[in-house]
Amino acid sequence: MASASECSHRSVQFECSRHAAQSGFKRPNMQERLAATKLDNDNLLPNLALGKRDEIAEDPEYPPQSLQEWFDEEDRNSVTPSRRTVYVVPPPQISEAVDFLEPWSRPKNYRQEDQVEHPFIEEIHEYLSAFYHGLPVKLMPRSTLRLVRWDSGRTSVISTSKAKSQRPRFVGLQVSQECVRIRIRASKDGVFDGQLNLNDLLDAAIDMLPKDAYALLFLVNHDMYEDKDDDFACGRAYGGSRVAVVSSARYNPNLDELESVERLHAWPASHCENYISAFCDEADEDSKPKKTFKSHTKTTQNQGKFGSSTSRVGPMEAAISIHRTLPMEIMTGASLSALWLGRVCRTASHELGHCFGIDHCMYYACSMQGTASVGEDASQPPYLCPIDLAKVLHATSTTSIGRYNALLAFCEKSHRKNEHIFAPFAAWIRGRLVELEE
């Protein structure tokens, strides 16, 4: 794999890699992709896609969801005048009775001086307001939620690095006048001291759903697990119930090396041809390719920007040009915080998308793609493909230009305009707006 000092991402690949073909994934052709954007003779122009998809390799025949299929889905909840608000629920406060949970939101083996500040809930709320522009997005007050003692009288042993101490098997999540039981356990892989159960948190999210809510996103700082075989889980949505839960814990940049997260080739540089080729070479080591796969690439001829001097720089090229100016190896605390925020925002918007009835995207590199790892998360874009964008625009009753301008305003705020994810995303949006205006 190319090092930070070797790769300048000057050759960019937009089509699926040979690894996608070897895994059995057959991407819908251009005609099928165009048809998938149509609803009552509506027509949208498609983007190009990246093919390095670990999640798709696991289930290459997962059925794609066209705009018409989304519209006709019987279980999809419609936005109505009385139920159109998206709620964002902040991480709960921790009562003194369960203060042992306080350090669980930080990795165990990192020094205090290495700790990065958790993403601010207000900024996540602001991003989601732009992403789902057209609908009211409200932030619930944190005072309404507290983790408290669960009076079951049952305890189990949770191992620590030095000793074994008695900890309860459950804690309670107090929501107004109700208390929901949340299972807890020691972290299976030892990265955190302990974890909260994702399914119990989703049940709690259903209980706190306001009457005027279209959907609700519950954010937690603690690591989560879904079942006993899981090492961890970052997020999940009960789409039919209109609730989602996302944990920020594993997106902590201090865990990047442990989780094999690429910073140099994070989006948009995940389209770098050298990176994709190296990824495929690694996959080829244990198996011979079934067939060769020729990729479509763009290669620059100068040091300044992509394309020839007479060609207009497209959205992706503009995004990569910004990305390669950003620091990769030595980053300030503010840059690390912005990186963490961008990762959580992408996952939060993805999980809320399921509440809107949107399935995992099989058409393009898209914010609604499924992911099989934290590392794969980093390679995926923050934007929606034309097919999933059409679904969101229909649900939110807004325009693509209005939505892009709202996202651009978020990304261009003074403390974000030179930061990872947001600076390249702003460049991509500006390029996309030019295309729409033309």
Dump pLDDT digits (tens) for 56-92.
777 778 889 999 999 999 999 999 999 999 999 999 9
Sorted by where each starts, the structural domains of the chain and their CATH numbers stand as: 12-76+264-292+310-327+357-437 (no CATH), 85-249 (3.40.390)
Does the reported pTM lie above 0.85?
A: no
3-class DSSP state for residue 99?
helix
Q: Per-residue pLDDT for 114 more than 90?
A: no
37-47 burial, b at 16+ Cβ within 10 Å, e below that, comes to bebeeeebeeb
Token pair of 52, please? Answer: 């390095």
pLDDT at 16: 62
Sheet holding 170-175, edge to edge: 93-94, 145-149, 170-175, 178-186, 194-197, 224-225
Contacts of 100 (CB under 8 A, 6+ apart): 167
Task: Please report, rounded to a whole number, the percentage of residues in the chain having pLDDT higher than 90.
Answer: 57
Give yes or no for a contact between 270 and 380, defined as CB atoms under 8 angstroms apart.
yes
Q: Residue 183's beta-bridge partner residues?
A: 170
How far apart, in whole angstroms, are the C-alpha atoms of residue 7 and residue 328?
12
How far apart, in whole angstroms, are the C-alpha atoms of residue 350 and residue 245?
11
348: confidence class by pLDDT, cuts 50, 70, 90: very high
